[in-house]
Structure 1
């Protein structure tokens, strides 16, 4: 999964876009037909410290071994969280990929550029009706991600006399103050070209405080019955800004990209790390035994777990080889080896009927998985703010505005009231 200041690529000559794509693409070793046989498809991926070129190549090969008539040309987004913007550039230049993974379908679907999956094609997924766009389903609901739990260094906590993770917001502030007094930075956050890392704490606060009371808040925002400048949302912005004002978040962190942010936490440059559950894969791959995880705390200690189900593949409605694209996408998302690999490589929780994680899944993943399963049982799961898509998600382009607001609140460039007004103004532009 994973998500980067939404880096804007210049919409210039087609040749420039193609050169960028070619520079970021590789063709995995596959068997199968050639383009003359009508079976070649293009597949847009992205890379992170977890999702390496080898990960994607192995996954592609498993599918093409099953369907040897399908030949795949892999494209790679220049930035991990900029893949939606990059897909827009490719669409505008007439090079829209046949299959894409992990991008927001909003905008693409409404304009008729994505294939709408049938009920029968979605029957193997746990939540087949996730993320509807005008009553149709364009993105395979392949996995669930909790966004964000809070990971913490158990040794740092123990060395400062903190015997257990906090249960509520007041407890979290007490932990932060104790850590700061001991010369330890409470939270590791990020930004730079991966701006989503700067808004993780804001995602947690809005999800727990706002969505915890009004689960369909963003649907109401789309309907125009609530605004970002309303008291509940502005209070969430103020709560986030307060963390920065207290020094629990470092202003300089907003210039650090995702990979460096993760490494900073692993190197002990802060005690807590609010991040999507994909981080568990990194922790387990490094065999860390000093990392714990707890749910994002609410004001009253009530369990509210932000999560997002979706993130799977979308297929171009205008793919030259549509049948091959559809077969590739479904086979990729339902392959047991691929699902197990996604657990280990990216900490994903597959939303496929009958699936159980591999027995050798790591301890950090298992701890987060158990927290999520308990939240499901308790009916305590809400959408993760900023990460939603489709009819109950942010308007196209607004995720980048949320990231910008998080950075401005961290550095003090905006007050909570100014940030709320900015979001309302940008929302109006996005909807016009």
Structure 2
């Protein structure tokens, strides 16, 4: 997941202002004419997929198999980080791939001008195969499906070191946010660093605020923010920011919080130098690169968290889904749909086995080697609530402002105001009513 979804905010503003109003209104969505057979012959057809640096190897196996089955040629092109900003800049100048990995939230589909630029995936043949709770969780804008979910959406929650918990007599994860804080204080009293934060890389700082907002999100917070009835500077969000700062000032985090990186965070949790980290799925991907499933199952656990209990906050990212572009070439557009149909159809079992990841289709079993923590993350999805990225009409740079707060250059009130000011600009550019 990394920082990319929120880094796109500046590009959203630029492209949105250029369009003056809702860019998704520039062209009507059209119904996809047909879905080709997944293994139909495609000799001579060449497709391009854009991917980020953390998703460019995801389709390797399925592409190889699709090419053998159809005769098509598929090239993966890596767009440098920040990925979303780079993609939007290219698309705005008329440069388009056939397919691209993309964050499938409504705000990011709007940012890509979905109605004008993307093929609707109406009637996609694999939708009936998806688990019922995942079918409509994301990928839809204004009632039209534009994104194909291929891996389990990321969830904000707490990764913890089981061995650290066990060494201090902790036999079960805390049941709500306050209980987690109480546990952190107990650990600190025993000389353990309770939480690790990667303030140097900044992008994960926002998870601490968002998990505190899970109950409010379930009760319509982002709908109210989207319509101007509530703001980031209001008490709900501001109090979450203030509490995050207070926990830092209390000394419940790593002493090098201002400079610590994503890699530092992974090493600290896996090595038992910290007990917990609030993170998303890409964090576990880093741990998988450092340890095998047996070690991960022994050391690393996961629990969702919210003020009211063990409730997760879901935040699909660009590595979870793909979109197909309207290139104007009917043959390639059909071939792009065919690749998606193959990926989520005949090629799906092989894909999840190659990636050692959770299956989204009940008829396709999870590979035997999927770590327990990753299964627990996926199990948290049905009861999870949407994140800012999933439910807000725009994604301001909350994480940058929080990093500045950690660095001592902004107060919580300044964080809230700066975030709201940017949100209002982005919402206006996207054509949201009331802005």
With the length of structure 2 as denominator, give the TM-score of the two structures.
0.77
Aligned to 2:28: none
8 Å Cα contact 2:118/2:324 also seen in 1? yes
Moved more, 159-168 or 84-93: 159-168
Give deviations 1:297-328, integer Å, cap 9, x for gaps: 3334x332222468311011226321111212
In structure 2, which of residues 325, 335, 341 is the aligned counterpart of residue 316 of structure 1? 325
Residue 336 (structure 2) pairs with residue 325 (structure 1):
yes
2:287, 2:181 → 1: CA distance?
25
Change in 2 beyond 3 A, CA 1:256/1:33:
farther
Give deviations 1:202-237, integer Å, cap 9, x for gaps: 232222x4224x1x3223322222211222222222
Moved more, 422-431 or 267-276: 267-276
Residue 354 (structure 2) pairs with residue 341 (structure 1):
yes
SS for the counterpart of 2:144 is coil
8 Å Cα contact 1:43/1:72 also seen in 2? yes
SS for the counterpart of 1:148 is strand
Give deviations 1:144-175, integer Å, cap 9, x for gaps: 33422211112222333434322222321222
Aligned to 2:195: 187
1:148, 1:92 → 2: CA distance?
31
Give deviations 1:38-77, integer Å, cap 9, x for gaps: x1111111233xx574x54223212222222x21121113
Aligned to 2:101: 101
Residue 400 (structure 2) pairs with residue 414 (structure 1):
no
Aligned to 1:393: 392
C-alpha displacement at 1:340, in angstroms? 3.1
C-alpha displacement at 1:277, in angstroms? 3.4
SS for the counterpart of 1:144 is coil
2:226, 2:177 → 1: CA distance?
29
Aligned to 1:125: 130
Residue 216 (structure 2) pairs with residue 210 (structure 1):
yes
In structure 1, which of residues 197, 200, 210 is the aligned counterpart of residue 204 of structure 2? 197
8 Å Cα contact 2:352/2:367 also seen in 1? no
Aligned to 1:45: 51
8 Å Cα contact 2:198/2:258 also seen in 1? yes
SS for the counterpart of 2:148 is coil
C-alpha displacement at 1:188, in angstroms? 2.0
8 Å Cα contact 2:2/2:203 also seen in 1? no
2:113, 2:321 → 1: CA distance?
14
Residue 61 (structure 2) pairs with residue 58 (structure 1):
yes
8 Å Cα contact 1:147/1:203 also seen in 2? no
Aligned to 2:432: none
Aligned to 2:30: none
Aligned to 1:430: 426
8 Å Cα contact 1:148/1:276 also seen in 2? yes
8 Å Cα contact 1:132/1:138 also seen in 2? yes
8 Å Cα contact 2:173/2:303 also seen in 1? no
Change in 2 beyond 3 A, CA 1:428/1:366:
closer
8 Å Cα contact 2:139/2:148 also seen in 1? no
For the aligned residues, what is the CA RMSD? 3.0
The unaligned stretches of length 5 or more in structure 2 are: 12-40, 429-435
Change in 2 beyond 3 A, CA 1:386/1:77:
farther
1:111, 1:249 → 2: CA distance?
44
Change in 2 beyond 3 A, CA 1:112/1:350:
farther
C-alpha displacement at 1:280, in angstroms? 4.2
Residue 294 (structure 2) pairs with residue 293 (structure 1):
no
SS for the counterpart of 1:352 is coil
1:406, 1:313 → 2: CA distance?
30
1:254, 1:134 → 2: CA distance?
40
Looking at both structures, which has the greater relative contact order when contacts are Cα pairs under 8 Å and sequence separation is at least 6? 2
C-alpha displacement at 1:261, in angstroms? 3.0
Change in 2 beyond 3 A, CA 1:75/1:120:
closer
Change in 2 beyond 3 A, CA 1:97/1:297:
same
In structure 2, which of residues 156, 174, 179 is the aligned counterpart of residue 171 of structure 1? 179
Aligned to 2:226: 222
C-alpha displacement at 1:247, in angstroms? 2.0
Aligned to 1:151: 159
Give deviations 1:311-359, integer Å, cap 9, x for gaps: 31101122632111121233224421113334x2xx5x44335343123
Residue 243 (structure 2) pairs with residue 261 (structure 1):
no
The unaligned stretches of length 5 or more in structure 1 are: 10-31
With the length of structure 1 as denominator, give the TM-score of the two structures.
0.77
Structure 1 stretches of 4+ with a deviation exceeding 6 A read none
Aligned to 2:86: 86
1:341, 1:255 → 2: CA distance?
35
SS for the counterpart of 2:47 is strand
Change in 2 beyond 3 A, CA 1:368/1:6:
closer
Residue 144 (structure 2) pairs with residue 139 (structure 1):
no
